[in-house]
């Protein structure tokens, strides 16, 4: 039986709005706790399988742990605790960054824009020269 990695618990907590930093910390401590329980059970003379079963039983089910964690609102991500404040902040960020978006785009795509400008410039020059030459031919002809 492999050691539990608590994937189900991790997903449930993240979906429940628990702060990811806290989720990682809780998983680290639960894994360590499980390892301690298993090691103590083996030291008490249990077989490998028995030790794993005992460790799982003593730690409690993932559903129970998840429900207890989710009952603590202070462990949730701030955006879940204050959704209106988070929405206002997101809107403010969008409004603040919107006018800068074209400038940022130009900076990010600088080389492509320079190449494109040069190509358009050369094409304009060629077409203009051709047009001037044809006009000149009409005038002298």
Partner 1 sequence: MAQTNPPFMSGVPELLVLRLLADREMYGYEIVKAVRLVTREAIGVGEGVIYPVLHGLEESGALKAKRKAVNGRERVYYTVTAKGQRRLDHLSEEWKRVSSGVNSALGAPEHA
Q: What is the DSSP letter of 82?
A: S
74 makes contact with partner 1 (CB under 8 A): yes
DSSP string for 1-15: -PPP--HHHHHHHHH
What are the tokens at 35? 């390892």
Q: If we measure between CA atoms, which residue out of 1, 9, 56, 8 comes closest to residue 33?
A: 56
Per-residue interface string for the shown chain with partner 1, residues 36-65, x marking contact by CB under 8 A: xx--------------------xxxx--xx
Q: If we measure between CA atoms, which residue out of 7, 3, 2 comes closest to residue 23?
A: 7
d(CA 131, CA 136) in angstroms, rounded, equals 9
- DSSP, collapsed to helix, strand or coil, labels residue 80 as helix
Least distance (Å) between residue 105 CB and partner 1:
41
11 makes contact with partner 1 (CB under 8 A): no
Among 33, 90, 109, 115, binds partner 1 (CB under 8 A): 33
Among 16, 22, 46, 53, binds partner 1 (CB under 8 A): 22
1 makes contact with partner 1 (CB under 8 A): no
Least distance (Å) between residue 87 CB and partner 1:
23
Binding residues for partner 1 (CB under 8 A): 22, 25-26, 28-30, 32-33, 35-37, 58-61, 64-65, 68-69, 71-72, 74-75
């Amino acid at each position: 039986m492999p050691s539990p990695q608590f994937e189900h618990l991790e997903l449930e907590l993240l979906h429940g709005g628990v702060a990811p930093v806290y989720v990682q910390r809780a998983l680290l401590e639960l894994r360590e706790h499980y390892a301690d329980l298993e090691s103590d059970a083996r030291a008490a003379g249990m077989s490998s399988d028995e030790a794993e079963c005992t460790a799982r039983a003593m730690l409690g089910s993932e559903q129970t742990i998840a429900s207890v964690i989710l009952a603590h609102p202070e462990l949730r991500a701030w955006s879940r605790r204050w959704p209106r404040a988070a929405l206002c902040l997101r809107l403010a960020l969008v409004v603040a960054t919107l006018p800068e978006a074209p400038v940022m785009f130009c900076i990010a795509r600088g080389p492509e824009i320079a190449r494109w400008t040069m190509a358009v410039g050369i094409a304009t020059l060629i077409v203009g020269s051709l047009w001037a030459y044809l006009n000149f031919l009409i005038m002298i002809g």
